[in-house]
């Protein structure tokens, strides 16, 4: 089977991370609580996780497991 769950997970988290990072960067003053821009911080966290999932999926495609 060629199904790798890391592709949809990586795409979803990368997309949400890009959107949340962009929103946090644009609405800098509105989305702060105690001078912490939580949208920007979590956007970057989700973006990094999504990219790591995509990199893992690409690496897994190059080295398929032996059956």
Model confidence at 10: pLDDT above 80: yes
The number of beta carbons lying within 10 Å of the beta carbon of residue 61 is: 12
Model confidence at 21: pLDDT above 80: yes
What does the block give as tokens for 4?
A: 């790798």
Mean pLDDT of 21-50: 85
Judge contact between 29 and 67, C-beta under 8 A: no
Tell me what pLDDT residue 56 has.
Answer: 93
Model confidence at 9: pLDDT above 60: yes
Mean pLDDT of 37-60: 93
36 pLDDT band, cuts 50/70/90, is confident
Mean pLDDT of 13-30: 89
Could you tell me which of 53, 67, 63, 59 has the C-alpha nearest to residue 8?
A: 53
């Amino acid at each position: 089977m060629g199904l790798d769950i890391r592709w949809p997970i990586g795409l979803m988290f990368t997309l949400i991370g890009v959107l949340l990072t962009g929103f946090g960067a644009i609405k800098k003053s509105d989305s702060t609580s105690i001078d912490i821009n939580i949208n920007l911080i979590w956007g970057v966290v989700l973006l990094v996780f999504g990219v790591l999932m995509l990199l893992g999926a690409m690496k897994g495609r190059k080295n398929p497991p032996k059956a």
